[in-house]
Chain A
Amino acid sequence: MSCIIIGASHAGVQAAANLRRQGYAGKVTLISADNVLPYQRPPLSKAFLQNVLPEQKLWLRPDTFYQQKDIDLMLGKRVTNIDRDQRTVSLDDMQCLSYDKLIIATGASIRRLTVPGSDLSGVHYLRDYQDTIGIRDSLKHANNVVVIGGGYIGLEVAASLQKLGKNVTLLLKHDRPLSHITSNVVSDYLTQRHTTHGVNIQLNVVVTEIIGVDKVLAVETQNGQRYQADMVIAGIGVVPEQQLAEQCGLEVNNGIRVNEYMQTSDHNIFAIGDCSSFYHPVYQKQLRIESVQNATDQAKTASTAICGQFVPYSATAWFWSDQYDDKLQTAGLSEGYDEIVIRQETEKSLAVFYLAQNQLIAVDTINQPKSFMISRKYIHNLPKVNKIILADKNQDLNSAFTEIAGV
């Protein structure tokens, strides 16, 4: 009996640990393309980028963990092929390994700039450990940094570099940051905070060229502006890493299609984390979620199924982001909301509740962790809520969920 896990980030490591916790007696092989111990990704754009988190605290588990749990951790190896008939995987060093169960936890890969000059030295992306090490190294000789992209990565990188004393310009294609995943209220707050901290944030700008000779010198936008740059960091999204699955004929469509137990169209093969596309029974739609929560919870569902217990995946999505001294926390998914309710405690503490047909589907909180936590407890079944209590900072938020008469 053996289980091979391709990918050793949050999902892969959690799956391996869980198999052992649940008494899986077969061989467990965890294959990582990285050359370093499996690590946490969130700090790569925050504390680790700022060089305030020592390397040994970046590791998901100490090296001894894998030996103790009898997990065969293979570093610096890439899987090149999956043979479903033979139930084997081939590695780039010509090894061929057999599996009974296979877990694909390959994550996502960065989307790259395609404008002229994108291949100049000094253009960076941030996805893995080596990326952050490379950025930290280049920052030693950089003062003016242009960050492209207004998602979590762009915003967190801008905040981190500002903390490091760099002169930061943040270029956004859309009219506000996090435009696809949050409301104007949260976007506007973030825009204002970045501006207050001295980031030159430019909205509605399309990058047309990276200018330089060998090395980047400036970024040009469609409106003819040029922004001086000693380096450029682009955070313009990711695409699911589904090539191996596609090659061996598994069903893919913006991610590897899985059922509620994380099984692909081949039931001996599972896909979890950023690379999986799954149907969420509560939100009643096909989703692909890029988050630590989704990675670890799907890992638990898959490993539990491999150990013989089939429990459908229906976890509540949640996220967090730290920028400057602001803590942004999200529970649920706000897409499709038709109403928002705001609970403002102070100028720097607010919660934005997202409702669809009077049901709470998501909440974003900024520096209001208690509201995040209470909402996360209740939000699982998209409850009806008392909107008056939601909005009233002087009333216990719990009662918004328990006293819904008259709503």
Chain B
Amino acid sequence: MLNITFILPDKNKITVAANEGDSLMQTAVDNDIEQISGDCGGCCSCATCHCFIDDKWKDKMLLADDMETELLEGAIDNMQENSRLACQIFLSKEHDGLVVHVPESDW
């Protein structure tokens, strides 16, 4: 199991156990992180799982593909360099301890 910490909009921190191979979106939904709803189930269609990857972890992330980037650019007004769709991040051992900032839902 991996430890993943979500920092919510009110700055509360929630640390949860995640399965290797699960997406970050699935981990959030399974743990009822309200702002990440993942409406499309993770097929990169809805952008309801927007989050910010903590700067310290950016080197451990694979780059977003064109589909994800386009969705983010279209959907998110406060998009930042570390904006990602949680459904496109699949967790592996090297993500143990990952810190994710969760914005208020854009939808």
A171 CB to closest chain B CB, in angstroms? 27
Chain A residues within an 8 Å CB radius of B22:
57
Q: In the bound complex, how far is the Cα of B84 from the Cα of A257, in angstroms? A: 40
Return chain A residues, CB-CB under 8 Å to B8: none
Q: Is B7's beta carbon under 8 Å from chain A? A: no
> Is the beta-carbon distance between A43 and B71 smaller than 8 angstroms?
no
The contact string, 1 if C-beta is below 8 Å from chain A, for chain B 40-82, is 1101111100000000000000000001001101110000000
A72 to chain B, nearest CB (A): 17
Q: Which residues of B contact A293 (CB under 8 A)?
A: 39
**In the complex the two chains form, what is the Cα distance from A290 to B65 in whole Å?**
30
B45:A370 contact, CB within 8 angstroms: no
A314 to B: closest C-beta gap in Å: 13
Q: How far is the CB of B90 from the nearest CB of chain A, in Å?
A: 11
Partner pick for A42 among B37, B40, B71, CB 8 A cutoff: B40
Judging by beta carbons under 8 Å apart, are B32 and A21 in contact?
yes
Chain B residues numbered 6-28 whose CB sits less than 8 Å from any CB in chain A: 22, 26
Question: Across the interface, do A40 and B41 meet the contact criterion of CB distance under 8 Å?
Answer: yes
Query: Can you list, as one digit per residue, whether each of A364-396 has a CB less than 8 Å from chain B (1) or not (0)?
Result: 000011111110110000000000000000000
Smallest Cβ distance from A13 to chain B, in angstroms? 11
Chain A residues near B40: list those with CB within 8 A.
42, 292, 320
Say whether, besides A57-B26, A370-B70, A371-B74, A42 and B41 are in contact (CB < 8 Å).
yes
Given the interface contacts A65-B30, A69-B32, does A369 sit within 8 Å of B39 by beta carbon?
Answer: no
Chain B interface residue count, CB cutoff 8 Å, equals: 21
Q: Is the CB of A320 within 8 A of B46?
A: yes
Contacting pair A370 B30 (CB below 8 A): no
Q: Is B34 an interface residue (CB 8 A)?
A: yes
With beta carbons under 8 angstroms apart, the residue of A46, A65, A296, A320 that contacts B37 is: A296
**B29 within 8 A of partner (CB):** yes
* Pick from A43, A69, A372: contact of B74, CB under 8 Å: A372
For A61, what are the chain B residues with a Cβ–Cβ distance below 8 Å? 29-30
Q: Report yes or no: A292 in contact with B74, Cβ–Cβ below 8 A.
A: no
Bound together, the chains give a CA A47 to CA B47 distance in angstroms of: 19
Contacts of A372 in B (CB 8 A): 71, 74
For chain A, give the interface size range: 20 to 34
- In the assembled complex, how far is the CB of residue B78 from the closest CB belonging to chain A, in whole angstroms? 13
Closest to A47 in B: B43
- List the A residue with the shortest CB-CB distance to B34: A21
Most B C-beta atoms less than 10 A away, residue of A40, A370, A397: A370
B22 and chain A: residue at smallest CB distance = A57
**B70 with A369: CB separation less than 8 A:** yes
The CA-CA distance from A106 to B64 in the complex, in Å, is 38
Whether A241 sits at the interface, judged by CB under 8 Å, is no
Chain A residue numbers with a CB within 8 Å of B46 are 318, 320
Tell me the minimal C-beta distance from A163 to chain B in angstroms: 15
**Are B74 and A374 neighbours in the complex by a CB distance under 8 Å?**
yes
A293→B47 CA distance, assembly (Å): 13
Question: With A40-B41, A57-B26 in contact, do A370 and B73 touch (Cβ < 8 Å)?
Answer: yes
Which B residues are CB-close (under 8 A) to A46?
43
A231 to B37, CA, bound (A): 37
State how many angstroms separate the Cβ of A381 from the closest Cβ of chain B.
16
Q: Are A320 and B74 closer than 8 Å at their CB atoms?
A: no
Alpha-carbon distance between A146 and B76 when the two chains are bound, in angstroms: 42
Find chain A residues with CB under 8 A from B67 CB. 327, 369
CB distance from B52 to the nearest CB of A (A): 18
Pick the contact of B43: A42, A376, A377, A397 (CB < 8 A): A42
Q: How far is the CA of A47 from the CA of B22 in the complex (A)?
A: 16
By the criterion CB–CB under 8 Å, are B70 and A43 in contact?
no
Q: Would you give the shortest CB distance from B41 to chain A, in whole angstroms?
A: 5
Are A17 and B32 within 8 A (Cβ)? Answer: yes
A327→B68 CA distance, assembly (Å)? 12
Q: Does A62 contact B (CB under 8 A)?
A: yes
* A322 lies within 8 A of chain B by Cβ: yes
Cβ-based interface call for A263 (8 A) = no
Asked if A329 lies at the interface with its beta carbon under 8 angstroms from chain B, I say yes
Q: How far is the CB of A273 from chain B (nearest CB, A)?
A: 13
User: Can you list 26 residue pairs at the A/B interface with Cβ under 8 Å?
Assistant: A17-B32, A21-B34, A43-B41, A46-B43, A61-B29, A61-B30, A65-B32, A69-B32, A292-B40, A292-B41, A296-B39, A318-B46, A320-B45, A322-B45, A327-B44, A327-B45, A369-B44, A369-B70, A370-B70, A371-B74, A372-B74, A373-B47, A373-B75, A374-B75, A377-B74, A397-B74
B: residues with CB less than 8 A from A are 22, 26, 29-30, 32, 34, 37, 39-41, 43-47, 67, 70-71, 73-75
Q: Known contacts A369-B44, A373-B70; can you find 7 more A-B pairs with CB under 8 A?
A: A292-B40, A293-B39, A327-B67, A369-B71, A373-B47, A373-B71, A377-B75
